[in-house]
Structure 1
Amino acid sequence: MAGLVVRAPWSDLPSILASDEVLTALRLSLVTATVATAAALACGVPIAWLLARTTLPGRSVLRGLVTVPLVLPPVVGGVALLMVFGRRGLVGGWLYDTFGISLPFTTEAVVLAQVFVAMPFLVVAVEGALRTADRRYDDVAATLGATSWTTFRRVTLPAVTPGVLAGAVLCWARALGEFGATVTFAGSFPGTTRTLPLEAYVAINSGDSDVAIVLSLLMIAVSVTILVGLRERWIGTA
């Protein structure tokens, strides 16, 4: 971080951030990361509930499968996504033959890659919140005649909302910084799949280190802000 700060072209910072390439990449990153977080919430919260509140057989296996992207090289994730959603993939082949839908190298592929690598952060946070939440309130709601869905919506979810929000923020930040799976599965096309990390990679490869430094500092600033903001949530001190 010190090296980036020292070498940053501070005088050119406004013009670099206002350039069409950077604004396009920033806009694409913000949109895809937000959509990916929404998709991760829709899929991840139910999975976290299954892991924390049920006696589903094979929960440890499911937990391992859900969280394996935390330790898996992102490029491997991109290759796996190609094998599943590519034109000759397990699901992608059927989508292309039946509906003419091709996912690789599209904006939708960026979202899929981001969900793959970022959703584990959400699941881990929500599962932890569910495990520490007092279940007696759920039991009381059940004795009063509330259905499982009503209990979850009116009692459980409000109780674990801070954990859900923390997981969503971490998920969004991880999606914003995703590179390996994105470049493998979605490629690097300006305005379509070239997010901020890919724009920084293209800049450094083309010898434009100033742009790469500015984009790196921008992503670091976002990450540090999020981590500092969640510090009190994690360790209970300001």
Structure 2
Amino acid sequence: MIPPEHNAEFVACMEDVLEVYRRPYDPQRPVICLDEQPTQLIGETRTPIPLQPGQAQRYDYEYERIGTANNFMIVEPLAGWRKVSVRATKTALDLANELKELLDVDYPKAEKVVLVWDNLNTHAPASLYKAFPPQEARRLLDRLEIHYTPKHGSWLDIAEIELSVFTKQCLDRRIDNIDTLRSEAKAWEDRRNASGAVVDWQFTTDNARIKLKRLYPQLNEE
């Protein structure tokens, strides 16, 4: 969704993120994108008809809703690396623990992790203070450089692209429990990382100023 025209707040956040994407690869300051999505866990009400020669496996149109899970997608675009973390909930505590693992396990040697994410209510420094003692929350925040996509501009988060690929390649069938979902997500993650798949992001600030010109405030120049 693109906001109405002449939106200074939108273009300021958009250009900030686009300039982050222009930075050269720096292992000491990796650019990381984070996004998340809920997943419905769905069970069968009837046993599927098995795969047969010339006939794909068939499922009944009826199904059972068993609950939900939340997929955290973490991506380093320039390194062609991504991680899917499946959790039962999507609270501030879940988000805080994902950030702690990102910093202490995935990137323990990085000076700063440059984090791009959207304006979801849990995507805030306060989430760390809800989860950890203040000294620990501050330690983690000191290793983050946070950049927000604009409101209604989550398409600027590269992790959203990876979630779309993940949905098409991994969530294209019914999964009825969180353990299976975690196993399938890990297998997808391993395959995609091994293939060296990268997102070829080409939209720049110069492009935005031309293609999205209507979003920029009109100035009276004398």
| TM superposition score normalised by structure 2 | 0.28
Greater share of residues in strand? 2
Greater share of residues in helix? 1
